[in-house]
């Protein structure tokens, strides 16, 4: 994306804040600009495998074979210079960061201000797993937090944020900086969410969620045609959590998000046959824990 487009995008976005109601979808003219850099997925497969092997693999094996809970600590700290996929290499030359994997207090996130990429099994997950009084559903969902598929999805998700930001004139850093500088809380939220009601519905979060789904498909590819959206939400619990948060705002907000997500999955050839027939609302009704 050229600098000109980037500036235009930010300017138009800022203009749009004066008449864009919070619930309204992202304005159409911005869509066409954004399409330039969110139309296809990145290939970060090798790097995701490399990071997983050197960080979470042992933790996941210990838990699944010997029921040993993850230790609260850092498992891996490396520079992005270690990454080998073409787009990662380009991103590193623009925007070197440190990757930190572990069982941390926070969840996973790309810290664009301090140049760190955190990929985490949040400590509260371990706390939950120590509790013997969990419902079956919650137990199943928590166990899915400690699978190869899920943790690789988390790695893919965060790496994709970093690569997109680094290769597109730091659009994400700009967005966050603008939100930080904005004293009106509601307006700041709107900037951070790129015009949507909530950050997880923004085009850049959906883009990262799509990379997490792409990884889930790599892992469960053989059975993809049989899986429903409901199964996918279990395998990649981030989707369940986001869906639940949005549904608690209201069902309309949830529907806007899932329609955007499914539309993008369809475009990227990530929508399995059985995922087309799921009713959106049933996903959450079936899984409220």
| Residues near Zn ion, by CB under 5 A | 205, 208
Count CB atoms within 10 A of the CB of residue 280. Answer: 18
- As measured in angstroms, the least distance from the Cβ of 107 to Zn ion is 10
- Looking at the Cβ atoms of 142 and 155, the one nearer to Zn ion is 155
- Looking at the Cβ atoms of 126 and 208, the one nearer to Zn ion is 208
Distance CA 166, CA 174 (A): 11
- Looking at the Cβ atoms of 159 and 208, the one nearer to Zn ion is 208
Count CB atoms within 10 A of the CB of residue 3. Answer: 8
- As measured in angstroms, the least distance from the Cβ of 176 to Zn ion is 12
- Looking at the Cβ atoms of 174 and 205, the one nearer to Zn ion is 205
Count CB atoms within 10 A of the CB of residue 57. Answer: 16
- As measured in angstroms, the least distance from the Cβ of 145 to Zn ion is 16
- As measured in angstroms, the least distance from the Cβ of 159 to Zn ion is 11
Given strand 98-102, what is the order of strands in its sheet?
74-79, 98-102, 116-120, 109-111
- Structure tokens, 239: 């989707």
Instruction: Classify residue 120 as left (phi > 0), alpha (psi -120 to 50) or beta.
Output: beta
**Residue number with the smallest Cβ distance to Zn ion:** 208
- As measured in angstroms, the least distance from the Cβ of 194 to Zn ion is 12
- As measured in angstroms, the least distance from the Cβ of 209 to Zn ion is 7
CA distances from 282 to 27, 47, 154, 231 (A): 29, 36, 25, 12
- Looking at the Cβ atoms of 122 and 134, the one nearer to Zn ion is 122
- Looking at the Cβ atoms of 121 and 208, the one nearer to Zn ion is 208
The radius of gyration computed from the CA coordinates of the chain, to the nearest angstrom, equals 19
- As measured in angstroms, the least distance from the Cβ of 40 to Zn ion is 18
- Looking at the Cβ atoms of 56 and 203, the one nearer to Zn ion is 203
């Amino acid at each position: 994306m050229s600098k000109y487009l980037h500036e235009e995008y930010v300017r138009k976005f800022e203009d749009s804040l004066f008449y864009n109601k919070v619930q309204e979808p992202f304005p159409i003219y911005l869509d066409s600009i954004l399409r330039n850099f969110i139309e296809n997925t990145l290939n970060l497969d090798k790097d995701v495998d490399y990071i997983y092997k050197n960080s979470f693999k042992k933790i996941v094996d210990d838990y699944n074979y010997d029921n040993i809970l993850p230790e609260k600590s850092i498992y891996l700290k490396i520079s992005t210079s270690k990454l080998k996929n073409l787009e990662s290499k380009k991103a590193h030359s623009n925007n070197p960061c440190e990757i930190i994997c572990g069982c941390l207090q926070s969840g996973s996130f790309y810290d664009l201000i301090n140049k760190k990429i955190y990929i985490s099994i949040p400590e509260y997950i371990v706390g939950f797993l120590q509790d013997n009084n969990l419902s079956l559903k919650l137990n199943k969902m928590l166990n899915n937090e400690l699978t190869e598929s899920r943790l690789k999805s988390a790695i893919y998700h965060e790496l994709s944020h970093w690569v997109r930001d680094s290769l597109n004139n730091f659009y994400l850093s700009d967005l966050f900086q603008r939100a930080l500088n904005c004293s009106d809380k509601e307006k700041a939220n709107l900037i951070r969410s790129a015009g949507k009601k909530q950050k997880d519905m923004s085009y850049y979060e959906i883009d990262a969620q799509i990379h997490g789904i792409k990884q889930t498909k790599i892992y469960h590819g053989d059975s993809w045609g049989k899986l429903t959206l409901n199964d996918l939400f279990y395998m990649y619990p981030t989707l369940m959590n986001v869906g639940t948060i949005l549904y608690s705002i209201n069902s309309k907000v949830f529907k806007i998000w899932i329609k955007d997500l499914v539309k993008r999955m369809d475009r990227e050839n990530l929508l399995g046959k059985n995922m087309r027939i799921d009713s959106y609302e049933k996903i959450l009704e079936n899984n409220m824990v």
